[in-house]
Each structure stands twice: as structure tokens, then as C-alpha cells.
Structure 1
């Protein structure tokens, strides 16, 4: 256990529905260890809810290929958990996650901002890489994952709705002069998902050119991190 409450554990070795269950258990532990107002705890709560729902649907005929969808979900979540472990161990997290970890206790950043910054980092950077990893591991082409990628997108859209319903501060947000109104309006889950799929297709096309792929990934990481820092602009 570290001073911040996160427990460092080795990455999940196996993939699929059972691994998703272990990811859910890990996120529940993280949520129990952190103060509710901690920015990471805010993101972790909404991500846990959607991951639990995804786990339930893996056995319910929702996905065309449940094994592939489960592997993608686990690889996706593990990138967030790896970033959390890196910070807990005193190492540097990817640039996309740094704003959330650095500002997680800032008193002038609102819970809605923390949640959106976490989703931005995870969708904008981690999703494309998890898709590449899943295709490589399963020796599959992107088209094999596209239908279930869209189904995961429906769950993520539900997560965005839940974030806004649960974390909106109230009717005062309707005031166009409220800075939070401006911050929230600058980011779109749908656009982030579209960008993630495009980045995945580009990285897949560059898989035979590792230096270019690494440079492209680094640029994505930096750009997503910049957006995250803007989302976390402290507001009075």
C-alpha cells in the first residue's frame, strides 16, 4: 500500500471475462482506498460502473464476439491501472494521465472536470493502443473488432450521460457565463471515440514501421494530455 492509498499489483495475465472480473475487483479496491473527493476516485467511480455493466453484458449476447470484447475491455482498463501503478511507484505516467494525477486534489477543480479528464485520457490515448494490442494478440484485422467497438461505444455514451447527470452542480450550470459550462462544452465523447478509431487504424497501418508508430503514439499522448490540462482548469 502506498501513501496515496493505491495498492501496486502485477498486471492481469489472462484475458477475457474472468480478467474483466479481476479488473472490476481492483477498481473497487481503489475506490475504497481513496477519499471520495480525490479526482482519481471520481473518475474511478464512473469507470467502475461502466466496466461492471460491460462485464454483465459479456454473457448476455450483447457482443458479436464476447471473447474479443472481453479481451479489449481488459486490455483497455489495464492501461489506466498501469498508469495508476506508475504514479504510486514514483514513476511517470503517460502524458495523457499526468494532469489528472497532478491536479487530483486541487480544491478549485470540480468533480465533473475530474471525470471528463479521466475519460479524455482513457479514450483519447489508451483506447487506440488497446485496440492494437487486441488485434495483434488475436491475429485479427480491425474490421473484426469494429462491430463490438461500436457496442462498447454505446456503453461509454451511457457513462458520459451518467457523469453529467450525477456530477452536474445544478441549474446554475445553464448560465452560459459559468466557466464550467464552457469547459464541459469543449469536449465530446463521440468525437473522442472517432479520433481513437482513426488513431487505431493509423497505428495498425504503421505496425511495420515501429519508429513512426512510436512517434505517432507520443504525439497522441501529448495532445490528449494538453486537452486534459485544459479540462482541469481550476474554477472558482
Structure 2
């Protein structure tokens, strides 16, 4: 059995997103729907910025295989969009996303924490599944996507640095921000990206063993959820 059916995204609004432009439009719609200070909205703005930058790079020829990058980006984004749709419908999103939905309006959680928790959920669980989805769609193996995966990852790391600069409180809030500095410094997008690539390879090798693959996915999901909960520890 060469399939991983349990990784499929449920049918719904996110399933209609088929290109990067459609992803951007949905994220922009979220931005107008959610009030200022909403933690999920903070992450959404970060993700929107990343996706808009990626679309510009797709158009200017930065990526050698634009088709593969676009396919990966759309399948990656669908995971986030589906989590939002699921929660909005009263369902239970993946464990990696639950802390962010639970704490999105907590007054003691800083914007940087919301951004990092969302990135952690998306990289720590969704990215590996998106790689497998893309490989199955394009008829290739993860190794064939490694160069483009790394190019996208380099963009994410660059934007993460900008996000930290923009969302970290200034020197006048240093006393309050001491715990935040510790939390933010304890998590690394680069390490999370490396772990996701390894997980994608494991899932690809387990594609003929769906029960074992699903057990691995569930544990990966739970681990990302645990990290997300720590990242959202109130700092005031």
C-alpha cells in the first residue's frame, strides 16, 4: 500500500486554494476579519509577508524550479488554512495549532510569541507533510526538492530575523521582556527546518506503512504542540 491517506486535508475552503495568489487573498481576508492584537492575526500577518515575498521571488526567477516551489508553498499553506477553517467550524485543529488558538487573545502573551508559536506549528508539523504531498503530486522524491526547500528556508530565516527585530520590545521594556528574551532565544527556525526535512524523509520511507506513518505524524504533531505551549507562556 503506497499511500498515506490519513495525511489528506479535509475537503473545504482551503482545498480550493490552488495557487499562491489565492493563498494571499485568503490571508488578506483573515487580516480584515480579526481585531488588532489577535494572536492568530499576528502570525497571519507574518505568514502573509512571507508569502508575498515568495510570490515576488517566483516572478523574478529567483527559484530554479518555480513549479516545484509553488506546489510546495500551496500545499504548505493549505495546512494552515485548514486549521483555521476547522477551528472556525468548531472542530479540533491539529495539536500543533491548538495552543495558538487557545491563547490568541491572552493579554499576557506578546506579539513575538504569537508569531513564533505559529511558525513553530507550521514548520514543526505541516511542512514535512507538505513535502510529502508535493512529492506525490509531482511524482518525485524529497531529495529532488531539497535545493528548492533550502532556498525557501533561507528566505524564512531572513524574514524571521526581521520579525524578531520588529516585534521584540524596545529597551524601555527590558525588565518586562527578560522572560520573552529567554523564550525567543530558546527556539530556532533553522533547527526546526532541519528537523522538518528529516521528518519528511522518514514519512516518505514509511509511505507503504500507513499505520506506522500516522503514529509518527501524531507524535510529531504532539511535540510541536508542546513546544508551542511553552512559547506562549505569559510574560506579563
Tell me the TM-score normalised to structure 1 length.
0.92
Alignment: residue pair count: 226
Matched, 1:10 2:10: no
CA deviations over 1:137-192 (Å, ceiling 9, x no partner): 11101121000001100111122112101101012576698111111111000000
- In the TM superposition, structure 1's runs of 4+ consecutive aligned residues that sit over 4 Å from their partners are 172-177
Deviation track 1:30-58 (CA, whole Å, cap 9, x = no partner) reads: 01111120000000001100100101111
Deviation at 1:11, TM superposition (A): 2.4
Structure 2 runs not aligned, ≥5 long: 1-11
Partner of 2:125: 125
1:112 is displaced (CA, Å) by: 0.5
**Cα RMSD (Å) of the superposition?**
1.7
Question: Larger % of helix: which?
Answer: 2
Q: Following the alignment from structure 2 to structure 1, what is the Cα–Cα distance between the partners of residues 17 and 35?
A: 30
What's 2:114 paired with? Answer: 114
Contact 1:175/1:181 (8 A) holds in 2: no
Say whether the 8 Å CA contact 1:184–1:231 is kept in structure 2. Answer: yes
CA contact (8 A) 2:20 2:73 kept: yes
- Normalising by structure 2, we get a TM-score of 0.92
Partners of 1:13 and 1:139 lie apart in 2 by 21
- Gaps of at least 5 residues in structure 1 are 1-8
Alignment of 1:1-236 (within 5 A): 10-13=13-16, 15=18, 19-171=19-171, 178-236=178-236
- Output one character per residue of 1:45-85: Cα deviation in whole Å (capped at 9) or x when no partner: 01100100101111221112101110100010110000000
Structure number with higher relative contact order (C-alpha < 8 Å, ≥ 6 residues apart): 2
- The answer on whether the counterparts of 1:95 and 1:225 sit within 8 Å (CA) in structure 2 is yes
